[in-house]
Structure 1
Amino acid sequence: MSQTPLVLQPLAQLQVAAASALVCAGDLLYLLADDELLLQRYDLNGVFIDQQPLLAGSLPSAAKARKRLKPDFEMLCQLPDGALLALGSGSTAARRRGVLWQAGVTRVLDLTALYLALESQLQDLNLEGAVVQGEHLWLAQRGNSAGSINALIRLDLATLMQQLAGAGLDAEVLRAVHAVELGTLHGVPLSFTDLCLDAQGRLLFAAAAEATKSSYHDGACLGSAVGCWHAGQVQSLWPLAGEAKIEGLCRVADGSLRLVNDPDSREARSWLYRLVLP
């Protein structure tokens, strides 16, 4: 790991309190928050444009009830046909749904069959990153609970696109699960929080050092890092200055990154940051 922390450039405060996934499409940013039912759009500097519900209904305002009932959308990726795919974390039975969004039209997906297949290989499932790379769609397992591991999960994109025409995804899309060792930051294990691609098409990831042994209960975050995984191993890992829990990242046209944090409090707002990797 690089020893000199990279400094995040704050761009804007966002209109959510728990930003969890970020995708860049052209000159627009699409954003999810894990305690909302919404897909939001911003410009590249964080100016709010609009939002649309992904699921019908509303969530309770009380923190414990909201946490129990939320779909926990932690992943967002753009598919080859331009559609956006939002996925729940799978950390509880209520979090096994996805939503396919295209041109303002939404369709809810059942992810139970796929997530049960993953649970047979991964203890305490908690998915928090998704990105398309060539013929595959990668998911990131966040190993932030006792006994769980960080892992990158490879899905077959062609099979997935076929299944998206139906009601949901099952184990036929699954190709491989790769355990990944991320090390520690300030003595706390790092765990995946999001994925994107760099300019060479390699996997970039965000990871947070959150002091918790649970995939459900939050803990104090001691900081975050950005890294590159390629050819079966972590090639680079850059710690970030400060203690922001980075939960989403994407690359924009000029090669810089946009990142968002989750302050784990309904009383605070998430921030959009800019970062240029060395």
Structure 2
Amino acid sequence: MLNLADNVLALRQLASLRLSAASALVCQGQSLWLLADDALVLQRYSLSGDWQAEQILLPGTLPVDAKQRKPLKPDFEALLSLPDDRLLALGSGSTERRCRGCLVEADSVRVIDLSPLYQALAGHFQELNIEGGVVCRGQLLLAQRGNGRGRENAVVLLDLSRVLRDLENGQLSAALLQIVPLQLPELDGVPLSLTDLSVAPSGALYFSATAEATESSYLDGACVGSVLGCLDEHLAIVELTLLRPAVKIEGLAFQADGRPLLVADADDPAVASPLFTLDGLSEPARSN
């Protein structure tokens, strides 16, 4: 396993966002789309973090009190851009209520039933917790976060053509191709677990992971830091970069010029999520 002490980069904050529990982001041209795991909306920002607009994903309101809000939130943890530029938001699947997704096209939103897929995946993991997703090399990849029992980090490969057909019917079925376990190291004695996936302009596949002191996919814990990693075409880790300061990185995206954007969640509704970038990231060349 790669030595984290050999590769460290400093996060540079660009802005403070209007959501406190940022969980996923996607860059499309000059727009940055942002999700929070405890909100019912999708927000749009400029690439520098200036707020632009908000779109309701699910109707209703959530309690202000954090303890009351937690069991009722949809827990949107993954956001990805489909080949036709529609956006797909995914719940984590960590509870029955969190098995909904939203397909966003222009000003329309369609609720997607994730239960068929998530029920199939639940047979492979002790605690299902989908935290990221991306379209890559003609497949749809999902990040299974191993912060629960068993510490099962994995990349789930889905048949993209099957996924696109399913979405027209308002659901995701068991379009499973493969599950690739991912062995991550510990950070200060705390296991790292996946939080997002993103593809750089070169085609390189990156992931973010955070070390959170919890043994539950439902309960939060103290965060001791995060890393940025790169996977090869076999989904083996080829690069691992320690990020400083120690924050809980939950979302990762790349701009067209190759610069990464990252968001963090402080697990505190009174703290606005920061938007970061990284200077000096040495991106691997596209794999042949």
Report TM bin, short chain. over 0.9
| 1:190 counterpart residue number | 192
Residue correspondence of structure 1 range 143-222 to structure 2 within 5 A = 143-171=146-174, 173-222=175-224
Q: Distance in 1 between matches of 2:21 and 2:150?
A: 26
Residue number among 54, 57, 60 corresponding to 1:54 in the alignment? 57
| 1:85 counterpart residue number | 88
- Contact 2:15–2:275 under 8 Å retained in 1: yes
- Contact 2:201–2:257 under 8 Å retained in 1: no
Q: Distance in 1 between matches of 2:235 and 2:258?
A: 24
SS of residue in 1 equivalent to 2:276: strand
Give CA deviations for 1:113-155 in whole Å, capped at 9, x if unaligned: 1001000011100010100012100000000113131000000
Residue correspondence of structure 1 range 7-18 to structure 2 within 5 A = 7-18=10-21
1:202 is displaced (CA, Å) by: 2.4
Residue number among 241, 262, 265 corresponding to 2:265 in the alignment? 262
Equivalent pairs, count: 277
SS of residue in 2 equivalent to 1:68: coil
Residue number among 109, 112, 129 corresponding to 2:112 in the alignment? 109
1:176 is displaced (CA, Å) by: 0.6
Q: Distance in 2 between matches of 1:195 and 1:147?
A: 21
SS of residue in 2 equivalent to 1:159: helix
Give CA deviations for 1:236-255 in whole Å, capped at 9, x if unaligned: 00000121100001000221
- Contact 2:15–2:48 under 8 Å retained in 1: yes
Q: Distance in 1 between matches of 2:117 and 2:16?
A: 35
Residue number among 94, 99, 108 corresponding to 1:96 in the alignment? 99
Q: Distance in 1 between matches of 2:135 and 2:186?
A: 27
- 1:273 equivalenced with 2:276 (yes/no): yes
Identical-pair percentage:
50
Residue type of the partner of 1:190? L
Q: Distance in 1 between matches of 2:231 and 2:241?
A: 12
What are the ranges of 5 or more consecutive residues in structure 2 without an aligned counterpart?
283-288
| 1:23 counterpart residue number | 26
SS of residue in 1 equivalent to 2:197: strand
1:198 is displaced (CA, Å) by: 2.0
Residue type of the partner of 1:130? G
Q: Distance in 1 between matches of 2:186 and 2:151?
A: 15
Q: Distance in 2 between matches of 1:199 and 1:252?
A: 8
1:5 is displaced (CA, Å) by: 2.0
- Contact 2:201–2:256 under 8 Å retained in 1: no
Q: Distance in 2 between matches of 1:79 and 1:165?
A: 13
Q: Using structure 1 for the length normalisation, give the TM-score.
A: 0.98
| 2:76 counterpart residue number | 73
SS of residue in 2 equivalent to 1:7: strand
Give CA deviations for 1:163-208 in whole Å, capped at 9, x if unaligned: 110020111x111111000111111111000010123312100000
SS of residue in 2 equivalent to 1:51: strand
